[in-house]
């Protein structure tokens, strides 16, 4: 089975609405520089399709996925890590106004399930049979659908919980496993005391980790109150990781803010990160598990 990275930016995408900085001006002038919010497309061993996150840019994500051979649409299942805008604002596209889907299995936490049932537009989709919520239990693997050939394990990760809790997801195939963790508040809250990032990943038998790389550092958003948008910066994460050594899991950064210099392949920040042996996720990248 294979996993396709259908987006690599944070919720606003690139270019971001209202941004007049050079990063977004250039992306408006050169569409090939534009990027979509984080999402994964998973093709199961039985040919079934499954999405992680439901972005409003799903049309472009479908086109990207279709160009490399998706065989089923709409997907058999969708899994949501948490309730923030760019991860859920495409759910309505499955409804009567657009795709007219029915029976799309929606995997989420009990906290997210409560929000679905209490939000009128989403609860209407449940009543109409468009989506069928299925609640997971943290740290217990489940198959999104029968015979898909892979499991998902939801790992609790602290991140602003004003609407719902937040989880990273481990996708485990027959050969490898991949951790999808686009959002967290801080490593100190995610990790047990005294536990390092690499030890944490090894303890969960993770081969490939796609982790929160929202900001290179907070200088890029000096006009914002960073206490309201907490994320570990890439600089902080690299200080913890050090250089990659033989046998370490593959780690690649995702969920880039539109201001992040890692979106520019020619930046010094890209060069320095790659020199340390870690990765910068690319939209359209495919992982075989």
Please spell the DSSP secondary structure of 105-174, one letter per residue: EEEE-HHHHHHHHHSHHHHHHHHTTSEEEEE--TT--B-SSTT-S-EEEEEE-----SSS--EEEEEE-S
Classify residue 277 by its DSSP letter: T
Per-residue pLDDT of 94-139, as tens digits, reads 999 999 999 999 999 999 999 999 999 999 999 999 999 999 999 9
> 3-class SS at 244?
coil
* Block residue for tokens 């923030």: 84
The pLDDT, as a whole number, for residue 222 is 64
pLDDT tens, position by position, 213-269: 999 998 877 666 766 778 899 999 999 999 999 999 999 999 999 999 999 999 999
Q: Are 274 and 234 in contact (CB under 8 A)?
A: no
Which stretch of DSSP H or E encloses residue 66? helix 58-67
Q: Would you list the DSSP string of 84-116? A: SHHHHTTGGGGSTTTT----EEEEE-HHHHHHH
Please report which helix (H) or strand (E) contains residue 202, including its range. helix 197-203
The token pair at 11 is: 């919720």
pLDDT given for residue 221 in this prediction: 75
Note the pLDDT of residue 226.
67
Say which range, 68-72, 168-172, 201-205, has the weakest mean pLDDT.
68-72
272-288, pLDDT tens digit by residue? 999 999 999 999 999 99
C-alpha 240, offset from chain centre: 22
Q: What is the pLDDT of residue 69?
A: 82
pTM: 0.96
Q: Is pLDDT of 153 > 70? A: yes
Each residue of 44-100: pLDDT tens digit?
Answer: 999 999 999 999 999 999 999 999 888 788 999 999 999 999 999 999 999 999 999
For residues 204-216, average pLDDT: 97
Mean pLDDT of 23-36: 93
Q: What is the pLDDT of residue 219?
A: 85
Strands laid side by side in the 167-172 sheet: 151-156, 167-172, 177-181, 208-212, 250-254, 279-280
Architecture of domain 2-288: 4-Layer Sandwich (3.60)
Residues 231, 271 contacting (CB under 8 angstroms): no
Domain ranges of the chain: 2-288
């Amino acid at each position: 089975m294979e996993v396709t990275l259908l987006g690599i930016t944070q919720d606003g995408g690139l270019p971001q609405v209202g941004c007049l900085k050079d990063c977004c001006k250039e992306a408006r002038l050169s569409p090939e520089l534009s990027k979509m919010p984080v999402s994964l497309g998973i093709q199961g061993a039985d040919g079934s399709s499954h999405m992680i996150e439901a972005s409003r840019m799903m049309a472009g994500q479908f086109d990207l996925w279709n160009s490399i051979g998706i065989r089923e649409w709409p997907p058999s299942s969708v899994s949501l890590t948490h309730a923030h805008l760019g991860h859920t604002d495409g759910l309505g596209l499955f409804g009567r106004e657009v795709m007219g889907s029915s029976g799309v299995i929606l995997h989420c936490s009990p906290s997210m399930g409560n929000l679905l049932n209490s939000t009128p537009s989403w609860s209407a989709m449940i009543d109409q049979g468009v989506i069928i919520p299925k609640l997971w239990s943290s740290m217990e693997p489940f198959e999104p659908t029968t015979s898909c050939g892979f499991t998902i394990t939801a790992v609790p990760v602290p991140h602003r919980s004003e609407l719902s809790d937040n989880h990273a997801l481990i996708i485990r195939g027959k050969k490898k496993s991949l951790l999808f963790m686009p959002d967290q508040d801080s490593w100190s809250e995610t990790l047990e005391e005294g536990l390092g990032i690499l030890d944490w990943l090894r303890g969960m038998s993770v081969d490939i980790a796609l982790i929160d790389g929202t900001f290179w550092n907070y200088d890029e958003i000096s006009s914002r109150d960073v206490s309201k948008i907490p994320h570990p910066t890439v600089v902080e994460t690299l200080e913890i990781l050090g250089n990659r050594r033989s046998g370490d899991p593959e780690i690649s950064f995702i969920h880039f803010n539109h201001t992040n210099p890692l979106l520019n392949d020619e930046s010094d920040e890209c060069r320095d990160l790659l020199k340390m042996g870690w990765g910068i996720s690319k939209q359209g990248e495919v992982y075989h598990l």
